[in-house]
Amino acid sequence: MIDASAIDASTPAIDAAPIVDARTSEPDAGPPPELDAGPLPSDGGGFPGPLDECPGGASIDRFQSWLASGEGTTSPRTGSLLVSEGGEQVARVEFVNREWHVLTVFTANQFEGEADFSRASGFWLTYRATEDLYVQIRPSFAWSGGDKYLTRIPSTGGVDQTRFFSFARDQWATLPALGTPSYSYESALAAVRGFVFVGETPNQITFRGLRVDGYVPPCR
């Protein structure tokens, strides 16, 4: 069992419907129903393509802070996940052992920043993963603790894929095992300090793109 008060970013497994092409989905709470994973929603608008990277530094779609937190056994253990591959930057991490692992992407490229995603339809993630994992939105006003809104990032079977994840309220879950946040999903979405990716199983993960609808991360 995971002590939610002791581990800063932890999520138990969720039984969710497989995703075919476009987006992931989770219910608000409790045992999830089977959800349709059909084509991109109309508010997705289609993948907008990559952004120009930050000058003079490593970034993926201008996100510069891809960090292993040191929670769980990972390779690398701590620090930046960014590496050069074929002339571009990717973020690569391995989750080792069956335990909870945590990595963070700061939305404004620094801990003190935040981003308002309340008008964004969602985000596109280009990645590969050998197992499912999850992503939480962590607001600046309630950074610590496991009682966060989250959605599932499905396994791609170890091949690169680009998927759209909607910010629609019914696509994000609260988990009874970790408690219900004292704030609303809408308030969290308006003050996102970071995307926190977590997973409990061994996994090999590579991130190649992260585009949030209408958002251009500020280079530090």
pLDDT at 34: 30
Buried b (16+ CB within 10 A) or exposed e, 53-83: bbeeebbbbbbbbbbbbebbebeeeeeebbe
pLDDT at 78: 96
Element (H, E) at 186: helix 185-189
Of 63, 174, 164, 60, nearest to 121 by C-alpha is 164
Listed in sequence order, the DSSP H helices in 89-147 are: none
What would the pLDDT profile of 103-131 be if each residue is shown by its tens digit?
999 999 999 999 999 999 999 999 999 99
Yes or no: say if 169 and 4 are a contact pair by the CB < 8 Å rule.
no
Which pTM does this prediction carry? 0.80
What would the pLDDT profile of 56-102 be if each residue is shown by its tens digit?
879 999 999 999 999 889 999 999 999 999 989 999 999 999 998 99
Distance CA 23, CA 1 (A): 29
Of 140, 135, 138, 136, nearest to 113 by C-alpha is 140
Which whole number is the average pLDDT over 50-54? 91
Q: Does domain 51-212 have CATH number 2.60.120.430?
A: yes
